[in-house]
Structure 1
Amino acid sequence: MLSRRDLDFLLYEWLDVESLTTRERFADHSRETFDAFLDVSQQIAERDFAPHNRKNDLNEPTFDGDRVTIIPEVSHALRVFAESGLLGATMDAEHGGLQLPHVVQRACFLWFQAANTATSAYAMLTGGNAHLLLAHGTQDQIRRYVHPMLEGRFTGTMCLSEPQAGSSLSDVTTRAVPQGDGLYEVTGGKMWISGGDHELSENIIHLVLARVAGAPAGVKGLSLFIVPKRDLETGERNGVTLAGLNHKMGYRGTTNTVLAFDGARAELVGEEGRGLQYMFHMMNEARIGVGSGAVALGYTGYLHALDYARERLQGRPVDAKDPAAPPVPIINHADVRRMLLASKSYVEGGLALMLYCAKLLDEPSAEHDLLLDTLTPIVKAWPSQWCRLADDHAIQIHGGYGYTREYPVEQFYRDNRLNSIHEGTDGIQALDLLGRKVTQKGGAGLGLLLDRIRATAQKSDLGAPVLAACDRLAATTAKVWASGDPAKALANATAYLDAAGHLVIAWMWLEQSIAAGDRPGDFYDGKRIAAKYFVTHELPRIGPMLDLLDSGDTLLLDLEDAWLG
């Protein structure tokens, strides 16, 4: 599913995660406790999550008009996960958490995402819900909602999208009416709510964006509410009805729901009108979680393809003279090696980025907050595209077997395809990066990111092309915004996201090659060759992307819908 050797290299030989134990928050931990959590995560993932991954896919949840039915293995796996303490791994000890560094928790959770992304999604959403309430809820709300989540009794969701609005949260119409007793009644419909209904827990805690009567239009009029599926006192349904299940091409084991709220009793989180601000706490965590899931699925697809390529005998070397010579493993063929090396560069580069960003949370500062904010669109979108390509390569390497259900790689691809849509499409992330993140605070976030990349590149013998790419991205950013016309500047935002993402992954590979140094062995040779590959074969892709942006091309703005047929 994953490579423990790679995780150990990234955590201990590159990021020096052990040094975090000198911080007061992590003083009770050590290399031994970190390894113990990694060990137990791998064990639970392999024993309780991976075995029902295919069954989850073939037997997706059903709804009979009253109850949702899910295969029993899902409930068992989530119960084991909750009992391990990993759900509250990074939370404060006073709330039952383990105060584990985010970077170690991220490495642990990747095992579950690689083993069974559908089952792990329930845990990811519940953790994000709990983190939001810890940050913005009252102590009483934390006691009544977060503590049962950490015990595995409650699960959580995020309810943003609506059928008519999709990703356009300005158009949310769900209403909340004050009842005079400190509570509200929420009425409206929500769509695409993962984990929105099931019988896996005693209760489901929905975090719902809604508009209080009289609130202004747009996102500034949104407030955030806690809406439990069942009343905490009586256990009766709380005006939340499952209107139906959506059936997806991947993540089939995660219920994806249409929910109707009809006078559901709700508690306000924080202040009215600040709902989207609070929700971003969970949204950004979910975006990083989606990126991590894309890495995990790409990584396991790559490892399956690697094993298959070493075992599958087919064909002969191009210079073979004897047609009766025995066939060779397909890994000996240059095009198979191309796909494997490309996949390795994507998934190991993506994994490095996930762990790097997680460690930023463990060393909080204004600078690290700004850097993580700038990187978040890339963290979400780049793996969703390029680690999915690793799964595409895995299918190709398996040949005809790759798209049959007898092999798991076709499921990895289908599961991974959803990640480009979850938590904001790639296009939305592109608009966020170019339209907001690189321009805010006078471009300070982009400047900080490029400074970090340049500092690494100056220490590497592969650094020259990366330094040149930094200069180009900075110049292109300035040129794109020179006109002051947002529509024109953002017309090719997706190309900008792709270019910036490839530059960031090149940086991650320089970091890994420096950490590998000149140490001998196949593992370190593999790091060095993958770094060289990415810089020499992948980084040049950004040239045409930046040329397009520099040109000020407006083809997409000028395009008439009638011309599309």
Structure 2
Amino acid sequence: MANEYIDIETLKYLLYDVHELEDVVRQDRFKDHDKESLNMFIDSVKEFSDRELFPYIKEMDEHPAYYEDGKVIVHKQVDVIMKKSGEMGLISGTFDYDAGGLQLPMMVYTASAFIQDAANNHLPGYLGLTIGSAELIVHFGNANLNEIYVPKMLSGAWGGTMCLTEPQAGSSLSDVVTKAIPSDKGHYKISGQKIFISGGDHQYAENMVHLVLARIEGAPQGTKGISLFVVPKKRPDKNGDLTPNDVTTVADFQKMGQRGYCTTHLGFGDKDDCHGWLVGEAHQGLKYMFMMMNAARIAVGRGAAAITMAAYQASLQYAKERPQGRKLASDGKKNPEQGQTLIINHPDVRRMLLLQKAVAEGSLSLVLLASKYFDLKETLQDKDEKEKYGLLLELIIPMVKTYPSEMGAQAVSNGVQVLGGYGFCSDFILQQYHRDIRIFSIYEGTTGIQSQDLLGRKLLMENGKALKLLTNEIMQTIEQASKYDELKKYAAKLGDKLQLAQKVIGFLIGFAQKGDYERFLSDATPFMEFFSNITMGWVWLDIACHSKNALITAQKKYTEEFYESKIHTMKFYFKYELPKTNGLADILMNEEILTIAGEQEVFN
């Protein structure tokens, strides 16, 4: 197994140099932090991950979570990460001081969680769901709920989940039927079932705090009638003693990947004794849940980017050690007397490695950018600037979630190919990464859902204001890149792609203006690929600008080879990935309609 899973220099370069974390830390909320203290925090997470996460990733796959006698049994490292993360502030990091948090920037939390995800993607989800459910209570719950639940959750003693999906509803949350009947004692009687609940039960949590979407008896149909409830596995009394709360673990789903990260089927109220407490106002549950969704979707993109990075490191190490074949001579022939060459010297292997590098590092940069927008939206005082970063965040979120998930899977598949037959064998980690990453395009809204959100909502938001803001950001990078002779032609290429995007968007919006929304959204997923590809071209041109500036000004924190590798990867992206937008544009502007159901059935 590879002995490294992350390029920590690249992480810090993107964090501090490209995305300028120190500027964000100047906001009042983060005034107690500086680069030195934040670096210490990140380094401590790396050390922790080296010791407690990475050594167990294959073991957790080979010995997955399982269901037995009404309980889910998980690997012992779940206990370690929950308790140690509570002590280290990995759960409480972004929370206010008043809630027991560290008031860390989202950028720093994202960087630290990226390290953990890359080390062992089966473990950080237990923390992430606890963080998400605690955030819901902090933001929308009353003082009593905050006092009872949040401290235990942030310490890692109690776990947390978010319970949305039901067997009959899937992603269609308007069809949620879990019931909540009010009692005269201040709580509600909850009854129903939830499926695909990540981290929903395990033997190392003293209690599990479920944030459950349910419909109060008599509530309106559809999403407007859904409320949010705290439903603990065990309900604490006024003395803090815990009593079973009629929450049943029905099963654990056995999965192709992330086998150490349990996924449960939960039943509520089978004995008519499941108590739930309303969070915030009635019928506002979906609104509350989706106010937390930006952070959740950043987390999904981050996890996919991290697996892509770990797979890249593993296949790169293999390519540097594996001799096979011989380099072609200038006459196109091989000399059988010449010794074998390492496979990293073969052009096709280098192509696959460069794709992995482009996707892994580019995805990380995109995720950190979203985290920066998140921090600025939350902390800036100027109303216009706050709105600007809020709109930019909303627009890129579907791509942040989708690009690392979809292209990460392709990149990891390339990693398997680099190893050849060994990549398909369980002795090597690549096949596990290939299985682990597949779920990320499904988590927190599938690619299809994210694509419809991007095209159908985000592009049209506030009469296209967010799109104009993003275009301005891209144009600034194009202008900067145009100052460097080496980058000029790439700046021009990206400018051409922006014009192509305007043409495609204009064509598609024409259908919306005519009221033909099914046609407008029918190719939303190809549009996601098209627009993400252009956005990633911007991300890579920005990285290249910072690298070129460091080389020219001699303000080098890293080696010359480090910066040159970033510029080279940008060039690779522009040669091998960005041109794919031309074919996608042809698809998107093709008048022929082939995927909308009509009178004649084509599947027979």
What's the TM-score bracket when you normalise by the shorter of the two chains? over 0.9
In 2, Cα distance between the equivalents of 1:417 and 1:553? 31
Task: Flag structure 2 segments of 5+ consecutive residues without an equivalent.
Answer: 378-385, 482-487, 552-558
1:513 aligned to 534, 541, 544, which one? Answer: 544
CA gap of 1:348–1:247, structure 2 versus 1, over 3 A, is same
Contact in 1 for aligned 2:24/2:372 (Cα 8 Å): no
In 2, Cα distance between the equivalents of 1:166 and 1:471? 38
Partner of 2:450: 429
In 2, Cα distance between the equivalents of 1:118 and 1:337? 29
How much has 1:481 moved relative to structure 2?
A: 1.9
Asked if residue 357 in structure 1 is aligned to residue 370 in structure 2, the reply is yes
Partner of 2:485: none
| Cα shift readout 1:433-453 (whole Å, capped 9, x = no counterpart) | 111111121111222112211
Q: How does 1:59-70 map to 2 (within 5 A)?
A: 59-70=63-74
Partner of 1:17: 21
How much has 1:559 moved relative to structure 2?
A: 6.4
1:473 aligned to 496, 501, 504, which one? Answer: 501
1:170 aligned to 166, 169, 174, which one? Answer: 174
Partner of 1:494: 525
Partner of 2:75: 71
How much has 1:545 moved relative to structure 2?
A: 1.2
Q: How does 1:158-307 map to 2 (within 5 A)?
A: 158-233=162-237, 234-262=241-269, 263=272, 264-307=274-317
Query: Partner letter of residue 351 of structure 1?
Result: L
Partner of 2:340: 327
How much has 1:560 moved relative to structure 2?
A: 7.2
In 1, Cα distance between the equivalents of 2:579 and 2:448? 22
SS in 1 for 2:327: coil
SS in 1 for 2:496: helix
How much has 1:478 moved relative to structure 2?
A: 2.3
SS in 2 for 1:412: helix
Q: How does 1:431-470 map to 2 (within 5 A)?
A: 431-460=452-481, 461=488, 462-470=490-498
In 1, Cα distance between the equivalents of 2:144 and 2:548? 52
Contact in 2 for aligned 1:129/1:282 (Cα 8 Å): no
Query: Partner letter of residue 362 of structure 1?
Result: D
Task: Flag structure 1 segments of 5+ consecutive residues without an equivalent.
Answer: none
SS in 1 for 2:596: helix
In 2, Cα distance between the equivalents of 1:321 and 1:483? 57
Percent identity between the two aligned chains: 38
1:371 aligned to 392, 398, 414, which one? Answer: 392
In 1, Cα distance between the equivalents of 2:593 and 2:144? 53
CA gap of 1:216–1:561, structure 2 versus 1, over 3 A, is farther
1:129 aligned to 126, 133, 138, which one? Answer: 133
Contact in 2 for aligned 1:161/1:169 (Cα 8 Å): yes
Partner of 2:568: 529
In 1, Cα distance between the equivalents of 2:339 and 2:576? 33
| Cα shift readout 1:164-214 (whole Å, capped 9, x = no counterpart) | 111111111111111123211111111111111112211111111111111
Query: Partner letter of residue 540 of structure 1?
Result: P
SS in 2 for 1:482: helix
| Cα shift readout 1:229-264 (whole Å, capped 9, x = no counterpart) | 101124122111011111111111111111111142
* CA RMSD after TM alignment: 1.4
Asked if residue 482 in structure 1 is aligned to residue 510 in structure 2, the reply is yes
Asked if residue 54 in structure 1 is aligned to residue 58 in structure 2, the reply is yes
| Cα shift readout 1:480-527 (whole Å, capped 9, x = no counterpart) | 121331100011000110011111111111110111015171111100
Query: Partner letter of residue 424 of structure 2?
Result: Y
In 1, Cα distance between the equivalents of 2:297 and 2:33? 28
In 1, Cα distance between the equivalents of 2:590 and 2:112? 44
How much has 1:66 moved relative to structure 2?
A: 2.7
Asked if residue 398 in structure 1 is aligned to residue 419 in structure 2, the reply is yes
How much has 1:116 moved relative to structure 2?
A: 1.1
How much has 1:473 moved relative to structure 2?
A: 1.5
| Cα shift readout 1:464-483 (whole Å, capped 9, x = no counterpart) | 12112122222322221213
SS in 2 for 1:458: helix
In 2, Cα distance between the equivalents of 1:187 and 1:171? 15
Asked if residue 564 in structure 1 is aligned to residue 603 in structure 2, the reply is yes
Partner of 2:405: 384
In 2, Cα distance between the equivalents of 1:455 and 1:200? 50
Contact in 2 for aligned 1:299/1:390 (Cα 8 Å): no
Q: Which moved further from structure 2: 283-292 or 493-502?
A: 283-292
How much has 1:387 moved relative to structure 2?
A: 1.3
Asked if residue 341 in structure 1 is aligned to residue 364 in structure 2, the reply is no
SS in 2 for 1:117: coil
2:587 aligned to 511, 531, 548, which one? Answer: 548
CA gap of 1:196–1:560, structure 2 versus 1, over 3 A, is farther
How much has 1:321 moved relative to structure 2?
A: 4.2
- Give the TM-score of the pair, scaled to structure 1: 0.98
Contact in 2 for aligned 1:298/1:389 (Cα 8 Å): no
Query: Partner letter of residue 314 of structure 1?
Result: Q
